[in-house]
């Protein structure tokens, strides 16, 4: 089997990945898996690290 035979991962922009991560954080908050404080910190850190302008 050659590397070229393996399925290639989908390519996403940073913005697409950012929005997917934010939706996941919102789901965790909604399901009470994280606190509002944890959501706020993770959201802030994610936004900063991915250089997203709000």
1 CA to centre of own chain = 32
For tokens 């302008």, the residue is: 53
pLDDT of res. 3: 65
SS3 (DSSP) at 17: helix
CA angle centred on 51, ends 46 and 54, rounded to 5° = 85
The pLDDT tens digits of the residues spanning 1-54 come to 566 777 777 888 999 999 999 999 999 999 999 999 999 999 999 999 998 886
DSSP letter (8 states) at residue 34: S
Give the predicted TM-score (pTM) of the model. Answer: 0.77
């Amino acid at each position: 089997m050659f590397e070229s035979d393996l399925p290639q991962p989908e390519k996403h922009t940073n913005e697409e990945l950012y929005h997917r991560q934010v939706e996941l954080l919102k789901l965790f908050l909604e399901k009470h898996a994280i606190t509002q404080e944890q959501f706020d910190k993770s959201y802030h850190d994610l936004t900063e690290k991915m250089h997203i302008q709000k």
